[in-house]
Chain A
Amino acid sequence: MSVIDENKLKLLKMKERLLEISFDNRNSVLADYKLIAMEIDNILYKSITDIIKSNVSYTDKPLEEQLELFLKIEKEYADYDKFQQDIKNVCKKYNDDVNLSDIDSILIEEIRKKIQSIKKYLSNKKNLEENRKKLDELNTELINEDKKMTSFKKRIDDMDAELKLAVLKTEGRIYNSSSQIEYADISLEADNLGLNLRNLLDDDSLLEEELNKALAELKDAEDELKTAQICYDNRPNINYKDIYLSIREDAVKKKYRFLFLKIISVICKHTDSYDEAYEKRIQLISLIKDRSDLLKQLNVKYLYDPFDRIGLKEQTEVIVAYGNNSSKVKDIRKQIEEVSSSSDLMETENIDLNDYLSKNIDLIRDNTLFKDIIDKEKIDLRGITYEDDTLKRKYASNQVVSVDALPFHFMTNRAKEKANGVVNRVYEMMFNIDNEKTSSVNSSSLVNPQLVIEPTSDNELTKPFDSTKETVSDNFETEDEVFLDLPFTIDVVSPEEKNDSIQEQHDEVTTNTVGDDISVSVEDKQSEPPLFQEVQPFENISLFDDKYDDGLIFDNKLVLKDDNVKKENETKLNNPVIQNLHLENKENGFSEDVMPDAFWTVKEEEPDLNEDNKLSFDEQIAALVESEDNSKVKKLVA
C-alpha cells in the first residue's frame, strides 16, 4: 500500500488504540477512526481501479506483461481486502458499521482466472517446446536404429545365403564300414537318403513335400515300433527281438531322414529380424546334434561332420554382436508416441486458453445506471420531442391515399353515364336558376331575350284548340299584325341583367311597345363568345304550326308578318262571292271565321318539327311542356 501516506496509516493506528482506552469520547474517536478509514479505503480502492481502468485493453500486451499486471492487482486486492476486514472488525468490535468501497466490484475471480490461464498457457508453451526437442532427439535415434536394423537385415540375408552355400560346398570326412576315412559332404549324404540336395535347396515346394513325406513315414515307423515293443515285451523271444530291432532300426533311419530334411528346411528359411536369425541358428545347432546322435545309432561316424563346418556358430556370434535393437526401436517409437500425445493435448488446451485470454473481459463491475450518465453528462432533456412516424402517416381527409384500378365487377359504363347525366343536368339547372334570379322586364337590360312557356291560369292547355274561337281580332292595330289568342302565356325574360359593359356589346336592341305589351326584336351581336352554349331564340324552332312560324308571339297574340299570305287571304275575303255569302248569311251569324280551313291560304309548309304530326296543336304544346325531353323548349333557353 505504497500509495497511502504513511502518516495516515499511523493516525489510523493511533485512533484504533485510542478506541481501546477511551470510554467517554469513544463515539467521537470512532467517528474519526471511520473517517480516516474511509479516506484510506477510497484511496486504496481508487488505486486498484485506476490500474484496471488504465489497462482496459490489456489483451494488447504480451501474456507475460498481463500476468505481471494481474499479479500486481491480485496482491493489492489481497492487501486491500485485509485492510477492509481489519476496519470492519474494529467497527464491529464497538458495535458499529462502516461504509467502505464496494470491493466486490473488483472482479477478483476473473483476475485470478486470468492469472491461472496465463500460467497454464505459458507452461504449456514451455512444455511444448521441450517436447519438440525431445521428439527431435527421439526421431534422430529412431532413424539411427532403423538404419542399423536395415543394415542388420541385409547382413542376415547375406548370412542366410552363406549358409545355403556352405551346405552345398562344405566338405567332411566319414569312416566307412572298413573304418577308413572317406570324403563326405552333405550332397553325398542327401544322395544316400535318395534326395537331391540342390533341388531341395532351390525348390521350396519339393523340400516341403519331402519333409511331409518323411514325417509321415516317421510317424508310421514310430507307431510300428511301439507295437513291436509291446509284442516283444509280451513275448520276449529272439524272433520278436529281431523283428523289434529291425523295426527299431527302421524307425531310426526314418527319423534320421526326417531330421536331415528338417535341417535343410531350416537352412532355407528366410529370416527378417534379429530374433528370427538367432533362433534359426540355435535351432540348426540343436537339429544337427540330434542328427549326430542318430547317426551314431546307425553306426555312422564322421571324422568331420560337414554340418559342423557350415559356420553356424560364427554366424550366431555375429548376430549376437549386432545386438537386438528391435526392442530399442520399439521403445523409441513408444516414447515418440507419448511425447506427441502430450504435445497434442497441450496444443489443444492452449488453443482454448488463447481464445479466452484474447477476450477483454471486464475486471470491474460497472454499476452505472442510465440516469447516472444523464446526470453525469448533464444532458439537457429539454426540447427533445418524439416524432411518431404513425402520426406523420395520418392522411388528411382530402388527401389521396391510393389510386386503384376499377374492380372487374364495377359497372363503369352505367356509373359514367349517370354521372355525365348529372353534370349535364346540373349545368342546365345552374343556368336556369340564374335566369329566374335575374329576370327583369327592363328594356335597357334586355339581353338575349328568352322564351318561357307557362300554362295560363285557365289551364287552357287541356282544351283542344277550338278553331271556332275567334282567333283573329277585328282590332288590327297594324296592318301587319294579326294577333291570335293562345292558351298559354309567353314572356320575354332576360337571362341575366345587362350591365353597361354588356350593353356596349350589343349593337342594337330595339323595343316596340304596344300599350302594355312589348314586342322585342333583338339582334344579338355580342362580340365575345358566350360562356355557355348559346342558341339563338327561335332558331330552327317551330313552336307552333308552321303557319305561325314567321312571327313573334306576344301576349296571346300571334303577330303575322307574312305580307303575301295576308294579302292573299284578304283578297279572298273581298271576293264578291264570299262577300255575297257573308251578306246572305250574316243574320245567321256567318263570318269569315267559319270559313273552312281550305279556304285560307297558308304558307308553304316547312319541315314540321313536331315529330308526331298526328298530335293536335294543344297536344303538341302540352307534350312539350310536360316532356322531359323538351329540347325544343330548351333550345330557346340559352
Chain B
Amino acid sequence: MKLEVNKIVTLGNNEEYLVIDMVEKDNEEYYYIAQVNEDGTDIKDNYKIVCATYKNGDIFLDEVLGEDKLKAILPLFVKE
C-alpha cells in the first residue's frame, strides 16, 4: 500500500480523502488531502494537511497542527 497523488485513501474512521499533493521536508512526507463526498464524484470542503508516519507496515496520517508548523509547510503546496 503506497500513498500516491490522485489516489483515494480510506482511513480507519471510514472517511475517504483525495490525495491532492505531496511534498517532502526534513525527511517527512506531507500530504494535502481533501475529503471525498458521499457520491464519490467530488470533494467536500474539508481539507487537511497531514504528515505520514509509518509503523509496522501501517500508514498513519497526522494532521499538521500549529500556526508555525503550517506556515512552514503550507507554502510548499502553493502553486504558481
Residues of A that sit less than 8 Å from B by CB = 394-407, 409-412, 414-416, 418-420, 422-424, 426-427, 430-431, 531-533
Q: Are B40 and A410 in contact (CB under 8 A)?
A: yes
- The answer to whether B9 and A402 have CB atoms under 8 Å apart is yes
Chain A contact residues, majority secondary structure = mixed
CA separation between A358 and B42, bound complex, in Å?
73
Total A-B Cβ pairs within 8 A: 112
The verdict on A403 contacting B75 (CB below 8 Å), with A410-B41, A415-B18, A419-B34 known, is no
B60 contacts which chain A residues (CB < 8 A)? 396, 398-400
Contact of B7 among A403, A424, A426, A532 (CB under 8 A): A403
Q: In the bound complex, what is the Cα–Cα distance between A409 and B37 (angstroms)?
A: 12
Q: Is B20's CB under 8 angstroms from A404's CB?
A: no
Contact A400 B41 (CB under 8 A): no
Which chain B residues border A399 with CB–CB below 8 Å?
A: 11-12, 58-61
Known: A400-B1, A400-B61, A411-B42. A532 touches B75 (CB 8 A): yes
Whether A403 lies near B2 (C-beta < 8 A) is yes
B8 at the interface (CB under 8 A from A): yes
A414 CA to B77 CA in the complex, in Å? 17
Task: List 11 A-B pairs, Cβ < 8 Å.
Answer: A398-B11, A398-B60, A400-B3, A400-B11, A400-B61, A401-B10, A403-B2, A404-B7, A404-B10, A423-B77, A430-B70
Known: A401-B9, A411-B42; 20 extra A-B contacts, CB below 8 A, are A394-B12, A396-B12, A398-B60, A399-B12, A399-B59, A400-B11, A403-B1, A403-B7, A404-B9, A406-B8, A407-B40, A418-B34, A419-B20, A420-B21, A420-B79, A424-B78, A427-B77, A427-B78, A431-B71, A531-B72
Tell me the complex Cα distance, A311–B40, Å. 121
Closest to A400 in B: B59
Give B40 Cβ to nearest chain A Cβ, in Å.
Answer: 6
- Encoded as 1 (CB less than 8 Å from any A CB) or 0, chain B from 15 to 39 comes to 0001011000000000010101000
Q: Is the Cβ of B59 less than 8 Å from the Cβ of A415?
A: no
* With contact pairs A395-B11, A415-B43 given, residues A423 and B6 touching in the complex (Cβ less than 8 Å): no
B40 CB contacts on chain A under 8 angstroms: 407, 409-410
Looking at the assembled complex, report how far the CB atom of A305 sits from the nearest CB atom of chain B, in whole angstroms: 123
> Which B positions have Cβ atoms within 8 angstroms of A?
1-4, 6-13, 18, 20-21, 32, 34, 36, 40-43, 45, 47, 50, 58-63, 67, 70-72, 74-75, 77-79
| B47→A422 contact, CB < 8 A | yes
Closest A residue to B4 by beta carbon equals A403
The answer to whether A404 and B11 have CB atoms under 8 Å apart is no
Given B6, B12, B79, which contacts A424 in the complex, CB threshold below 8 Å? B79
Interface-centre pick from B1, B43, B45, B60 (highest chain A CB count, 10 A):
B43
CA of A414 to CA of B41 in the docked complex: distance in angstroms?
Answer: 10
- Which A residues are CB-close (under 8 A) to B2? 403
Q: Which residues of A contact B32 (CB under 8 A)?
A: 419, 423
Known A403-B1, A410-B40, A531-B71: A397·B12 in contact at CB below 8 Å: yes
Q: Are B41 and A411 in contact (CB under 8 A)?
A: yes
A420 CA / B78 CA spacing, docked (Å): 7
Q: Are B20 and A400 in contact (CB under 8 A)?
A: no
**Are A420 and B11 in contact, CB atoms less than 8 angstroms apart?**
no
Residues of chain A lying within 8 A (CB to CB) of residue B75: 427, 531-533
A402 touches B10 (CB 8 A): yes
Q: Which residues of B contact A400 (CB under 8 A)?
A: 1, 3, 9-11, 58-61
Closest residue to B78 on the A side, CB-wise? A427
- Whether A416 and B20, one on each chain, are in contact in the complex, defined by CB atoms closer than 8 angstroms, is yes
- CB of A419 within 8 A of CB of B61, answer no
- Given the complex, which residues of B lie within 8 Å of A402, measured CB to CB? 1, 9-10
Give the CA-CA distance A409 to B11 in the complex, in Å. 21
Find the residue from A401, A411, A426 having the highest chain B CB count within 10 A.
A401
**Cβ contacts under 8 Å, A532 to chain B:** 75
Q: Are B47 and A423 in contact (CB under 8 A)?
A: yes
* Interchain CB contact under 8 A, A403 and B8: yes
Residues of B within 8 A of A423 (CB): 32, 47, 74, 77-78
Q: How far is the CA of A427 from the CA of B20 in the complex (A)?
A: 16
Instruction: Tell me how far the C-beta of A402 lies from the nearest C-beta in chain B, rounded to whole angstroms.
Output: 5
Minimum CB–CB distance for B29 against chain A, Å? 12
Residue pair B71, A406 in contact (C-beta under 8 Å) = no
B41 partner residues in chain A, CB cutoff 8 A: 407, 409-411
Chain B residues in 8 Å Cβ range of A396:
12, 60
B43 neighbours in A (Cβ, 8 Å): 415, 418-419
User: In angstroms, how far is the closest chain B Cβ from the Cβ of A419?
Assistant: 5
Closest residue on chain A to residue B14 by CB atoms: A401
- Residues on B with C-beta less than 8 A from A416 are 20
Closest chain-B Cβ to A304's Cβ sits at a distance in Å of 126
Question: Taking the nearest CB of chain A, how far is it from the CB of B56, in angstroms?
Answer: 11
Chain B residues, CB < 8 A from A422: 45, 47
Please, which residues of chain A bring their CB within 8 A of the CB of B36?
410
